[in-house]
Amino acid sequence: MNDSSRGAPPGAGWQGAPERTPAAFEGAPVPAGPSYDGGPAAQTRPMPPVPDDSPGQDGGRGDAGQGHRAGARKDGARKSAGRDLGAAIGVGVGLGAVIVAALFVVKAVFVGVVVVAVVVGLWELTSRLTERKGIHAPLVPLAAGGAAMVIAGYLKAAEGAWIAMALTVLAVLVWRMAKPPEDYLKDVTAGVFAAFYVPFLATFVVMMLAAHDGPWRVFVFLLLTVVSDTGAYAVGWRFGKHKLAPRISPGKTREGLVGAATFAMVAGALSMRYLIDGGQWWQGLLLGLAVAASATLGDLGESMIKRDLGIKDMGTLLPGHGGIMDRLDSLLPTAPVVWLLLVIFVGAS
């Protein structure tokens, strides 16, 4: 419960209590809410404040206050953080259909889908950095290098991805030299981070695709990540009581993490047994556990970025979801984990 919900009448504020305003304060500026130097962010929603669960906030209200807060949290959870659930489901099903169709029709088409997702994700990330922090990571070399990184990873595996990554970083350094030297280090550092975070991690998806059973490897990777997220949401919504990381993502609970691991391990055992050539069910248990851990860490990492930027979503391109980066948050860090474990379990090709 925040201060605005503790019974203050509508419109009450600095000017609504004249008897409390001494003469010394006449002409003082009216307090205002937080402001940002980066200008309006039309593509994003503002980030809600992190609730403070520290002791002493209830003023001695005891169990009654705790019960009131628990009910409020449950009601808030059932509203899905203000998102349009119908739109979210429709967009999710539509995206899933397009991705699966591209995956099993022609591998090159799916590579193109990954390239588009990477370029749009880079645009969202660099735009938010500019709007909220005044950081100008050069988009043109990032987009070109990111596309080259994905294609090189598909054609030449890890060696091609690393070479493209190095050339992308060099291009970012050179491109930024065309502008004044002020904030050069800040801008290129953000550019190197963006190059690693979005396109380089995405290359592990197309590296999985390059195997003879590549479409099934990528399908298992996507399936386990989605199942992990679903398990975390379902169990956390129903049984969640203990916060996992309240200052980063207040909605996540330890019970939700257990649900994510359980769902992903079951799905992993079935997937490795029936979908991956040479896979064993016990390998799927380990794979599912690793996916639950990496997907949760990826989600928390993106939440840290968005809290630092003061935004709720990276964009508005996907109704009910936010932006492309809001869908890639758990996928990107999970891709190298799944790629590596599949190489260990069943080989690279």
Structure tokens at 261: 């691991």
Residue 279: Cβ within 10 Å count = 23
220 and 208 Cβ atoms separated by less than 8 Å: no
From the list 32, 46, 36, 48, the residue with the least C-alpha distance to 134 is 36
Quick: pLDDT tens for 4-17: 444 444 444 444 44
- Angle at Cα 36 formed by Cα 15 and Cα 179, nearest 5°? 150
Question: Strand pairing partners for 311?
Answer: 46
Is this prediction's pTM over 0.85? no
Is the four-CA dihedral 214, 217, 221, 224 of positive or negative sign?
positive
End-to-end CA distance of the chain: 54
- Which of the four pLDDT bands, split at 50, 70 and 90, describes residue 321? confident
Q: CA 228 to CA 261: how far, in whole Å?
A: 7
| 173 contact partners, CB below 8 Å, separation of at least 6 | 188
- Which of the four pLDDT bands, split at 50, 70 and 90, describes residue 44? low
pLDDT at 232 over 90: yes
Structure confidence at residue 33 (pLDDT): 44
In Å, how far are 50, 192, 245, 310 from 36, measured between CA atoms? 18, 25, 26, 9
| 104 contact partners, CB below 8 Å, separation of at least 6 | 215, 219
Helices (H), the chain: 62-78, 85-105, 107-133, 139-176, 184-195, 201-209, 214-239, 254-274, 281-309, 324-328, 331-346
Which has more pLDDT, 213 or 61?
213
Question: Strand pairing partners for 243?
Answer: 253
Structure confidence at residue 38 (pLDDT): 43
Quick: pLDDT tens for 92-142: 788 888 888 899 989 999 999 999 999 999 999 999 999 999 999 999 999
Structure confidence at residue 2 (pLDDT): 45
Q: CA 181 to CA 185: how far, in whole Å?
A: 8
Structure tokens at 317: 């391109």
pLDDT at 339 over 50: yes
In Å, how far are 131, 165, 183, 310, 314 from 188, measured between CA atoms? 17, 14, 9, 22, 20
Q: What is the mean pLDDT of residues 251-265?
A: 96
